[in-house]
């Protein structure tokens, strides 16, 4: 009986649901600014992608190459990015609309700590932040998760057990 390979989109969906649930829990408990707790989400992503790459190689009985396993991991990353971007937009615009105000409030407090900024500069910075918050959040998600996913995929592909049956020289 042949083992069924779990599709990368399914693994990406599971990892993203775990991280989204965790981020909602952090937000509802008021811990969304705690950087140490925020890093746990990245550990889940990294561990999930690495484990998924190793699992993929096992499901294929080791008949994979580094590139196959890396591609599998990066497909997981792409799924994770798409779902997280959709969640981010929905969270800020629909689910938690007060989040924007809270972020601007925290930004204002940080700007007040800088003695080199005048009140006018602080006001401009807050306007700029409010105006471009969503594009920055989306861009940071795509770039950050993309880089982090590529690194995790590379680690997972390197660690996964591989013994491909065919070599490029066997093909005619």
**H helices present in 91-118, as ranges:** 99-112
The answer to whether residue 70 scores a pLDDT higher than 80 is yes
Q: What pLDDT does residue 88 have?
A: 94
User: Which DSSP state fits 160?
Assistant: S
Q: Within 13 Å and on the Cβ side, how many CA atoms surround 125?
A: 17
Q: What are phi and psi of 163, to 5 degrees?
A: -150, 75
Q: Cβ distance 12 to 76 under 8 Å? A: yes
Q: What pLDDT does residue 168 have?
A: 58
3-state secondary structure of 114: coil
The answer to whether residue 170 scores a pLDDT higher than 60 is no
Mean pLDDT of 73-78: 97
Q: What pLDDT does residue 103 have?
A: 87
Q: What pLDDT band is residue 131 in, cutting at 50, 70 and 90?
A: confident
Q: What pLDDT band is residue 122 in, cutting at 50, 70 and 90?
A: confident
Q: What pLDDT band is residue 141 in, cutting at 50, 70 and 90?
A: very high
The answer to whether residue 166 scores a pLDDT higher than 70 is no
Q: What pLDDT band is residue 139 in, cutting at 50, 70 and 90?
A: very high
The answer to whether residue 63 scores a pLDDT higher than 70 is yes
Name the percent of the chain lying above pLDDT 90.
Answer: 62
Name the percent of the chain lying above pLDDT 70.
Answer: 94
Sort residue 61 into left (φ over 0), alpha (ψ -120 to 50) or beta.
Answer: left
Helix, strand, coil shares of the chain as percentages rounded to 5?
Answer: 80, 0, 20
Mean pLDDT of 65-73: 95
Q: Rounded to whole angstroms, how far apart are CA atoms 44 and 152?
A: 11
Q: What pLDDT does residue 78 have?
A: 97
Tell me which residue of 16, 25, 22 sits closest to 49, measured CA to CA. Answer: 16
Mean pLDDT of 69-91: 96
Tell me which residue of 90, 85, 74, 58 sits closest to 159, measured CA to CA. Answer: 58
Q: What pLDDT does residue 102 have?
A: 87
């Amino acid at each position: 009986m042949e083992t069924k390979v779990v599709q990368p989109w399914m693994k990406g969906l599971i990892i993203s649901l775990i991280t989204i649930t965790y981020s909602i829990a952090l937000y509802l408990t008021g811990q969304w600014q705690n950087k140490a707790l925020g890093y746990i989400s990245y550990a889940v992503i990294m561990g999930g992608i690495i484990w998924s790459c190793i699992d993929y190689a096992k499901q294929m009985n080791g008949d994979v190459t580094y590139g196959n396993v890396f591609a599998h991991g990066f497909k997981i990353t792409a799924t994770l990015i798409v779902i997280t971007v959709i969640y981010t937009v929905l969270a800020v615009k629909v689910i938690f609309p007060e989040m924007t105000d809270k972020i601007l409030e925290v930004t204002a407090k940080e700007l007040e700590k800088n003695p080199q900024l005048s009140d006018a500069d602080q006001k401009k910075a807050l306007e700029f932040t409010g105006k471009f918050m969503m594009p920055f959040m989306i861009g940071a998600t795509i770039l950050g998760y993309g880089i982090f996913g590529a690194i995790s995929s590379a680690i997972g592909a390197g660690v996964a057990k591989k013994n491909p049956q065919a070599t490029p020289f066997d093909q005619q």
